[in-house]
Structure 1
Amino acid sequence: MKVGLFGLLGTGNLGNDGSLTAVLAHLREEYPRARVEVFCSGPEEVTARHHVHAVPMNWNRDEYATASRLSSIVRKGLGKVVDAFRTANWVRRQDVVIVPGMGVLETTLPLRPWGWPYSLFLMSLSGKLFRTKVVFLAVGAGKVADRANRTLLVGAARLAHYRSYRDEISRDALTAMGLDTADDPVHTDLAFALPNPHPPVDHGVVGVGVMDYHGSNSDRARAAEIHRAYVTGMTEFVRRLVEDGRTVRLFVGDQVDERVARKIIDTIGAAAVSVVQTSTLDELLHEMARVETIVASRYHNVLVAVKLGKPTVGVGYAAKSDALMAGMGLAEFCQSMRDLDVDRLVKQFTVLEERASEVRSVLTRRNAEMTRRVTRQLAELSAILRGDR
């Protein structure tokens, strides 16, 4: 069996790479003789970490760099043509192509149509042309405002053999954009398939997840203002924790987030604040397991926190974070990073600590349900690989 995995993988996004880890573990356990290949943005990193053959998604390795010179623009344009043939040839060689989780059908962060949406559409179209089954597995989606991105992303989903979602809001978003999702199941995020570590907990330590946030795809004109307000608010919150005698560990979910963490430390200048270095979701799970309570921004920081059963406040940038928190019984402990209210955040954190025992009990029950959901999702994947659906 020839199985391809497709996505923005190996580029430092811990959530994306965690979804890849979960699917690879399932394939190796259930189909150890399958030939697995990954078509991705960071093939060297994927090969080194997972010991699987990986192919670069783009002929132009500077695909996501800003093109200002004429030569760069011409190279990007040529790359689009070359990538159409490269993608088709790769898909043609697979029996099944899996898009493992990730927010592949949303534009909650800045996204250009000729980047990821174009690559995803090429892959789905190639699958249809060459009768390769394309599987969108527990993916995230959002309602896309601009026509070009919407056409490519919805078109890619429409051409797939199978689609499932990590939450109801993802399926509802595609329904609202005109896709028939009546037969599409909703399960949960693939990260719930990963095992939880159990290191000793450093009592009284607070984990704070931060993000290099500049607004959504429609906020480009105000990106700098939004970023500055978010960083200022999170810095003030961390300052108050330190003044209260707390030790704070800053977590990131993508390599670019570290500069925000460094800004916070430079501004506060406190020895009680440090940045936790992690390069995989497994490492993030282990490090977050060592703190007592968590305030998190990036989606997969929130997910890891609640998966570990940690009392958590979610400072999210999209509805998916609120949906996750509500699904885990923590709807009252959410707010938007776009309109961050530090006083409210302090109150939420205070109440969270007062009710920590109750929150842990709720999370234990909800995690048991999430484990059942992700098990059903992987069973459906096995049925597709066997040819039963």
Structure 2
Amino acid sequence: MGVRRGSRRASEPQKGVAPQSTTIMFFGNFGTQNLGNECTLQAIIQNARRFLPGATVSCVCTDPLATSAAHGIPAFRISRRYGEGVTAGSGRRHRNPVSRLIRRLVVRLPREVGEWVTAFRTLKGTRMLVMTGTGMLGDFGIGPFDLHYEILKWAILARVRGSKLLFVSVGAGPIAHPLSRWIVKAALSLADYRSYRDEFSRRYLESIGFNSSQDRVCPDLAFSLATSEILPSPDARRNGNGRVVGLGLMEYYGQRRSPEEGERIYQRYVERVAGFAAWLLEHGYTVRLLVGDLSYDKRVKADVRTLLEDKGWGRDTERIIDEPISSAEELYAQLARTDMVVATRFHNVLLALMLNRPVIALSYHEKMRSLMAGMGLAQYCQDAALLDVPGLIAQFTRLERNAETLSASMKRKAEEYRAALDEQYGRIFGDLVRADRLAATADGGEVTPIGTQAGSTRRARNGAGWSGGR
């Protein structure tokens, strides 16, 4: 990963003192049981509170009730239309085109005006709206008027409200629909600060005509999770049944062009993953089944278990660990109880790397290859759609043999990423404190600055500001 600046580990920052009225609002597809998204939100909330203890944080998301319950913050719906769009849209797809047009003009347009008014009111008093990590700037499985339209709407309203608008360590691409490309570029052009979680995202935006040359590349926000949240207890990996391999599963249908093609890809993936799991069991390893999305990964876990039963590994075997996961914290705990990990979901791979577990990634997107290459593990990556079991076994054997050396380099790189994110937090949250300091000075008061002395010096030397320059 081409991290720009901040490559050294920063010391703990002095905390800024933000006025109680300071409100930072995070935006994203949260509350949908995707554990990767949830750990991303958890990471930025932790760091906002670390850098700005007096600030109020809130969230605009897909499911406010679930988000408030999980993270203990006020949360608001992105829009009723977006939250209900998936189920409602399927019932209208086959309407007569004329009736669809009439419905949009008579029913949906007034509702949408109401949604804009609601969003405008929600942003009252918000000093900073943060488009929060995740792969929000890709359009697989969504249309132009889904998430990307909502991003543009909230971006426009943030600027109208006078709020700072930030895109922080977001993932971008691919974006297939021309209108989606235009919407994404329009939203990005309104931002005060932009950074991308990998060089692929920045270059992809360049390729579709957006000038990202002065934007930053900074690691995925999950690398900044508090270590107390993810570090295992000393006895976390003890197991009397051989070394434990975490097998991260995903309900994977590829870049399908039809449901039938997607199902064929899925069945091939499941059969090959189960074949690899059987090899592990036959060679004395214990297999821990892991998921990363509580809404979408139930089927794949059940199907892998069924195929393993067909191969003679019944549900009574002690060497298949299949424990429920209901939160990001439980995912961390289960990953901590592995020795090595082979996973498909992006954040299963990333969190394993943070825990210093040697990993093989079954890649379905360029973000996986970028992540693994950045950690020095490019040779331990396979295309999930073309999964080769003998090749995977060879990779696994090589990974195990080199685990000690790789673990040392992975630890160094994770520390480098954490330092880069510390520098970014100091940059983005420091702007609020600098503004408050100027206001307080004018009033004869004082506001404590945030950030490390080294970080502040580096930012001054680099002329850092809201332009997001490299």
Shorter-chain TM band:
over 0.9
Aligned to 1:64: 86
Aligned runs of 1:83-232 on 2, under 5 Å? 83-107=115-139, 109-194=140-225, 195=227, 196-199=230-233, 200=235, 201-202=237-238, 204-216=243-255, 222-232=261-271
Query: Would the aligned equivalents of 1:210 and 1:250 in 2 still touch at CA under 8 Å?
Result: yes
CA distance in 1, matches of 2:251, 2:384: 11
The answer on 1:29 being equivalent to 2:29 is no
Q: Which one is further off, 157-166 or 195-204?
A: 195-204
Secondary structure of the residue aligned to 2:245 is strand
Query: Would the aligned equivalents of 1:105 and 1:142 in 2 still touch at CA under 8 Å?
Result: yes
TM-score, normalisation: structure 1:
0.93
How far is the alpha carbon of 1:17 from its aligned partner?
A: 1.0
CA distance in 2, matches of 1:81, 1:316: 41
- Gapped regions of structure 2 (runs ≥ 5): 1-21, 436-464
CA distance in 2, matches of 1:363, 1:142: 26
CA distance in 2, matches of 1:45, 1:368: 31
- Gapped regions of structure 1 (runs ≥ 5): none
Aligned to 1:266: 306
Quickly say closer, same or farther: Cα 1:88–1:213, change in 2 above 3 A. Answer: farther
CA distance in 2, matches of 1:69, 1:371: 45
The code of the aligned residue for 1:382 comes to F
Aligned to 2:35: 14
Query: Would the aligned equivalents of 2:143 and 2:177 in 1 still touch at CA under 8 Å?
Result: no
Query: Would the aligned equivalents of 1:92 and 1:126 in 2 still touch at CA under 8 Å?
Result: no
The answer on 1:48 being equivalent to 2:69 is yes
Secondary structure of the residue aligned to 1:95 is strand
How much is the aligned-residue C-alpha RMSD, in angstroms?
2.3
CA distance in 2, matches of 1:251, 1:80: 40
How far is the alpha carbon of 1:252 from its aligned partner?
A: 0.8
CA distance in 2, matches of 1:219, 1:33: 51
Which is higher, the Rg of structure 1 or of structure 2?
A: 2
Aligned to 1:39: 60
Secondary structure of the residue aligned to 1:62 is helix
Q: Which one is further off, 174-183 or 314-323?
A: 174-183
Query: Would the aligned equivalents of 1:165 and 1:185 in 2 still touch at CA under 8 Å?
Result: yes
CA distance in 2, matches of 1:114, 1:32: 36
- CA deviations on 1:133-173 (whole Å, 9 max, x unpaired) are 11111111123222122222222222222111111111111
CA distance in 2, matches of 1:307, 1:99: 23
CA distance in 2, matches of 1:218, 1:162: 36
The code of the aligned residue for 2:253 comes to H
Quickly say closer, same or farther: Cα 1:234–1:51, change in 2 above 3 A. Answer: same
CA distance in 1, matches of 2:194, 2:231: 30
CA distance in 2, matches of 1:335, 1:169: 18
Aligned runs of 1:316-355 on 2, under 5 Å? 316-355=363-402
How far is the alpha carbon of 1:274 from its aligned partner?
A: 3.1
The answer on 1:314 being equivalent to 2:365 is no
Query: Would the aligned equivalents of 2:47 and 2:425 in 1 still touch at CA under 8 Å?
Result: yes
Secondary structure of the residue aligned to 2:129 is strand
User: How many residues were matched structurally?
Assistant: 388
Aligned to 1:251: 290
Query: Would the aligned equivalents of 1:101 and 1:136 in 2 still touch at CA under 8 Å?
Result: yes
CA distance in 1, matches of 2:260, 2:157: 36
CA distance in 1, matches of 2:395, 2:301: 22
CA distance in 2, matches of 1:219, 1:352: 36
The code of the aligned residue for 2:161 comes to F
- CA deviations on 1:32-82 (whole Å, 9 max, x unpaired) are 322222111121111112221111222244222253445998599465444
Quickly say closer, same or farther: Cα 1:70–1:371, change in 2 above 3 A. Answer: closer
Secondary structure of the residue aligned to 2:297 is helix
Aligned to 2:342: 295
The code of the aligned residue for 1:28 comes to R
CA distance in 2, matches of 1:217, 1:147: 19
TM-score, normalisation: structure 2:
0.77
Query: Would the aligned equivalents of 1:59 and 1:82 in 2 still touch at CA under 8 Å?
Result: no
Query: Would the aligned equivalents of 2:24 and 2:130 in 1 still touch at CA under 8 Å?
Result: yes
